[in-house]
A = this chain, B = another copy of it.
Amino acid sequence: EPSSTLRASAVPDAVAPLAPEMLQREVARTLADQAVARLGPRLLPSAVPEDVAEFRNGAGNALGSLDVRRGAPRSSIDFMLQSSLHCKVPNGAIDITSILIFLNTATDAPHFLLELIQGSPTSIVVVLDLLPRKDLALHPDYLQKYYENTRLDEQRAKIEELPQACPYRSPSLFVRSACSPTAVLVTIDCGQGGEGALEEIVQGRLATVAKDVLQIWLDSCADSTTEMDDTERDCLLKRDQIVRSKSIEVDLTASLPRMFDPDVSSRIISEIRKAFGVQEP
């Protein structure tokens, strides 16, 4: 019979808060399952080399995972990308979990994006959006179709009405410009001793809203195709390329090299570039 010490470590205490990275990944895994269940054969099997699927720092202070599944030929899915980064820092750890499902030019429907960034067990940054692919001020019909009719703003409000939520302003004006007016862009800060409160929010309200936003995306975007003339398709392609290049520049090329050795981060960044279909600058 195992000692009580062993049992205690093997069966985690039900009331102790989960580690931040566990929380985030649980939410992300559930979402990924939801997307995969619906998209089914429209997603090809994972296509990343082993040393990209999981990677770590030489010093052992950082580890990460990246999975990219391309869309099947003739589907409107370009790729689904999941990543998680965990990096120990002097006073704790930084965790970043992302899910992106991007569409190709068979449609102009929005992409799906979730990013969770956590630097402490009591607060989390949430970026959750259906990323518009057209200029919303020039295309009110597009705004109405994908954002008004789907009542996405009610999802945003459910997060923002949390007393612990305050607006998160990306330091990049470009990132702010690329988001929709219904984007969830918040810091949820539960303050000192708020580990349990944050866990409850992440597993409760946040998980529910993320699931509902993904469901809206699956229902109104994932299957759509759009008739376009060449000029429209060229413009869509150009805008997509700029948004992809810029978000790599702002997001990953900024954080990966700070967390991982140069050879690791450049390997990962080049795999992400491949998925995004953008070249080195």
CA distance A148 to B176 in the complex (A): 12
CA distance A182 to B239 in the complex (A): 21
A177 B136 Cβ-Cβ under 8 A: yes
- Given B147, B173, B178, B182, which contacts A153 in the complex, CB threshold below 8 Å? B173
B174 A182 Cβ-Cβ under 8 A: no
Which of A58-66, A137-145, A188-196 sits within the interface? Answer: A137-145
Taken residue by residue from 167 to 178, chain A's Cβ proximity to chain B (1 for < 8 Å, 0 otherwise) reads as 100000110111
B136 A174 Cβ-Cβ under 8 A: yes
A residues 222-278 near B (Cβ < 8 Å) are 235, 238-239, 242-243, 246
CA distance A173 to B132 in the complex (A): 13
Q: Which chain B positions have C-beta within 8 A of A148?
A: 173
Q: Which chain B positions have C-beta within 8 A of A212?
A: none
How many chain copies? 2
A residues 114-163 near B (Cβ < 8 Å) are 132, 135-138, 140, 143, 147-148, 153
A17 CB within 8 Å of chain B: no
Quick one: closest B residue to A245, CB to CB? B140
A239 B135 Cβ-Cβ under 8 A: yes
Taken residue by residue from 52 to 86, chain A's Cβ proximity to chain B (1 for < 8 Å, 0 otherwise) reads as 00000000000000000000000000000000000
* Known contacts A137-B174, A137-B177, A140-B246; 6 further A-B pairs (Cβ under 8 A): A136-B177, A137-B243, A138-B238, A167-B167, A173-B181, A176-B181
